[in-house]
Structures are given as structure tokens and as C-alpha cells.
Amino acid sequence: MSKRLRWRVLLIALVVIGIVAGYVLVGYANARRDWKGEGKPPLQEALRKGVKLGLDLRGGIHLVLQVKTDDALKAERDDAAERFQSEVRDAGLTIGPLELPTDRSFAVTVTGQTDERKLDEIVKRHLPEWTYSTAGGKWTFAMTDAARRLIEQSAVAQAVETIRNRIDEFGVAEPLIAQQGVDRILVQLPGIDDPKRVKDLIKNTAFLELKLVVAGATTDRASLLAQHGANPQVEIVEVKPEAGQTEETFYVVQKAAVITGRDLRNARPTQGQFGSHAISFFLNAGGASKFSEATGKNIGKQLAIILDNRVQSAPTIESKIDAQGQITGSFTPEEANDLALVLRAGALPAGLIYLEERTVGPSLGLDSIRKGITASVVGAVLVFIAVVLYYKKAGMNAILALVMNAILLLGAMALFNATLTLPGIAGFILTIGMAVDSNVLIFERIREELRAGRAPKTAIDNGFSKAFATIIDTHLTVIISAIFLFQFGTGPVKGFAVTLILGLLISVFTAVFVSHTIFELTYGRRQHIDALSI
């Protein structure tokens, strides 16, 4: 064996051993994470877990959500308007009632006695992302385009992180949560068979506010509006109805919250005073300070616990409260657990809309795996038979290269943490076809060289060298197309593209390098070759 051939064989052995070892190590890492038994998971489990399966093969839930970024813009507008009014009051200035013409603007009427220069200073100091215009004594404030884009981007990023926190708390293995486009979020949860609970868990805004009660509770909303409707410092909030309750009940509460969900440090389900299910919450240092001050000053008054703009309960403040409280209501154990989970994970910055939902049962996934494996095996066997019948012993060379192609592709998918989907299996089969096509090109080139009277060894070398450019050209054009599929495709299309790209790169290696090495091992040691079995 020549030195050059030894290096070829050594390189092939290192590549195969490295990729197979990588597959096993990745499989052990995945199996160890999900292993419920004692000790280390067996080798069989590690081999089964080497490549991650997509939802269409494993079963689970596929969701595409859209973030209602207008909600975040409204919240920012309300916050800016509140800051402006607070600073105006602190400066001893007087302005008219607040108007909210759009999601990104607010307006106030300035009286003749108000110093407009001081107002201008307040705007520049406290509302730098806002512009304003004046006309007939009315000041109209508008959010800048740069601020709008930043708020929208931040809302989507925060929604992704909040959903990820909630899913992590829920305990789903290997979830996929990622931003898709400008305002969409892709959520894939393998192994989940209760889509309604997961959807409620994700979409639940769970925005907690504790506000002092001004008046209520009453079913007469009209009288509350007549008494308090003109007061901009209060709002009317509906009480969450009990089971079987038909009449709506309302409270009037202060618009400014004592504390909100942002002040929470932790939350957990617990038992209420009479054995009902409740949620205990614990405040961070800032929230505890605000809560302590507010409850200390308002002993004897009611404090409304408001969740998603509905009053859950309105207990009376009997003493100063520091760092913890309790939310009571008609919760089931599951509702109490999920609400505590959502409160721990944080509130969504904006509402969500479900654009797409797919649920794949585990039995359907297993059926897809069986059919995919059957299609792959049948296709491979038919290809092997055709190649051996047509190219004889050289066809066995191609079969060895194809088997190595399949092994290396599975190992590469494990190393690159790629997910195998049903379209990915189609890509797998397609790469086998491309690998066979490469071998056909090489064998036909060798046949042409033999017909031209070349010696067998020369025909082999010329066949590989002349077919090389064509193989690279065909593979490169398909790889470029697959890159575009990966870049702009979603879900299963990306799975197909990943498998195709890896398979084509490996196909070039096996068809040109490995196949040529096998030819050299077979015929290279012979001094005289009368004919090739091709």
C-alpha cells in the first residue's frame, strides 16, 4: 500500500470514527436528560436519542402566534401621559383633562395662566422620545418613529422570553420558541397532548395589580359612572363572576396601582383560609416597601386584587403588610398552579393572537417514522440491486459508499443538533439518489476511458478526475437552492433543507474520495489488470 493510499484510508477511518463517536456521545447526553431509570441509560437508548425528532415524527404541538404590538404602544402612551401629568402637578401647573386620540399620542389643553416654558422643560426632561405640537391652546404629544420601532421590537423579544420562561416552568423537554419575522413567534412543544392547557398558559397575560377601593361593590354600573365617571384618577373594574353568577358586580378603584406583577419575587399555589385553592405571592424589596407604606396609611380600607382587569377579591386592610399576600378565588388546583407559574414567569407585554395551530399525536408520529423507514429501506434496496446488476463489482463499491453516506449523515445531524422531520427523511432519500447519480457519472466516465483503449488503472483515475467538476457543479447548485430554503423557509421546510445540505456535502466526500479509495484498495496492489468489473 502506497503512502498516499495509507493517508486516504487513515483520514476516512478518522472521519467515520469521529462522527460515529460524536453521534453516540450526543445520544448519551440526550438520553441522560430524559432517563427515568437508575444509573446510566443503556447504549440502545443513546443510539435512539442521537438525532432529535421533529413534531411530525415525535408528536406534539406546533403554534404560530402574533404579538399585538399595539398593546405595548398603548401601555407606553399611558405611562408617558401619567408621567407628564405627575410632573405637571409636582411643578404646580394646571392643565385640562387628558385626551387619547390614537395609540401613539395624547393631548392636553393648557390654560392661559400656565407657564408654557416650564411645560416645555418637563417634556424635554421626562419625555425625550416624544414630539409635540401646539394649536389653539392644545398640546398634542406623538411618539417618535424610532421609539415606536424600539417598543415593538422590545415587546416581541419580551414576549418570546416570557413564553420561554412559562414553558420551562411547565416542564416541556426540548421546546422550540423563536421569533419569526417582525411580530410572530414560533412555538413547538414535543410530547404535549393537551393543547388547550398549553394555549391558555401561553396566552394568559396574568397582569396583577393591587389597587385601593374607592367605592363598591355594586351591580349598578350606571350610578358608579354618574358619581365617579368624571374623575380621571379612578376607574370602574368588573368583579370576576363566581360559578353560576349571572349579575355583574363592579368596584371603583384608584387608577394608580399600589403594586403590580412587576414587583413580585415569587408566587406559589397554596390553601386558602377555608380550604379553597389560592396563590401566595412574595414581593421584592421595592414592592415590599411600596406595599408596606400603602397598607400602613390605609388601614380599614379595601384593597382590590385585580388580575387581567378583573377583581379577584377585595379584602379589608387590617394591619400594615410587608412582603407577601394571597390571591383567593374559585380556583381549581390546576388553575391555581398555572396562575402561580404564569406570575413567576412574568406578565406578557402585549396580547397574543394564534395564527396557526397543529397537533400531532404520538401514534401518528410513530406511523410516520415506520413509513419513512420503510420508504428509505425499500428505495435503498432497489437502488442497490439496480447498481449491482448494471455495474457488477463496481456497483458493490457504490453500495459501500452509500452505506457510509447514510452513517455519516446521521452522525453529522447529531453533531449539528439538527432535527429530523418527515420532509427531512425525504431529503435523506434524495441525497441517496444524488450519491448514486455521482457514482453513475464516475462509472460512465470510466467506461468511456476503457472504450477509448485506456488501461484500467488510467481509466479509473481519468474517470474520477473528469467527473469531479460535473459532480461539484450539480451538488453546488442544489446546495445553493437548499440554503435559500433554509433561510426563508419555516418548520418542516427548514428540516428538509438542513438534511439536504448535510447530505450533499457528505455525498461529495463519499462519491469522490471514499469511492476512489475503495477502487485503489481493490485494484491498486495488482501489477496487471486485464479488465474491470464495470
Torsions phi, psi for 438 (to 5 deg): -65, -45
Higher pLDDT, 35 or 303: 303
Angle at 20 (CA atoms; ends 16, 24), nearest 5 degrees: 170
Torsions phi, psi for 465 (to 5 deg): -70, -40
* pLDDT (mean) for 397-409: 86
- pLDDT single digits (tens) 333-342: 887 887 787 7
180: left (phi over 0), alpha (psi -120 to 50) or beta: beta
Residue 363 confidence class, pLDDT cut points 50, 70, 90:
low
Sheet holding 138-143, edge to edge: 99-102, 105-109, 138-143, 130-135
Output the pLDDT for position 218.
86
Output the pLDDT for position 479.
92
**pLDDT over 70 at 173, yes or no:** no
To the nearest whole percent, how much of the chain has pLDDT over 70? 91
Higher pLDDT, 239 or 376: 239
Torsions phi, psi for 320 (to 5 deg): -65, 130
Output the pLDDT for position 533.
66
Residue 31: Cβ within 10 Å count:
20
- pLDDT single digits (tens) 463-477: 888 888 889 998 999
Output the pLDDT for position 28.
77
Residue 213 confidence class, pLDDT cut points 50, 70, 90:
very high
Residue 483 confidence class, pLDDT cut points 50, 70, 90:
very high
**pLDDT over 70 at 525, yes or no:** no
- pLDDT single digits (tens) 91-135: 777 777 888 888 888 888 877 666 778 888 888 888 888 888 888
- pLDDT single digits (tens) 281-320: 888 888 888 888 888 888 888 988 888 788 888 888 888 8
- What one-character DSSP code corresponds to residue 76? H
**pLDDT over 90 at 453, yes or no:** no
Output the pLDDT for position 184.
92
Q: What is the CA radius of gyration of the chain?
A: 34
Instruction: Tell me the three cell numbers of residue 435.
Output: 450519491
Q: What is the three-class DSSP state of 526?
A: coil
**Residue written as grid cell 409636582:** 90
Q: Is 527 exposed, middle or buried (0-12, 13-18, 19+ CB in 10 A)?
A: exposed
Angle between helices 333-345 and 145-170 (to 10 degrees): 140
- What one-character DSSP code corresponds to residue 261? G
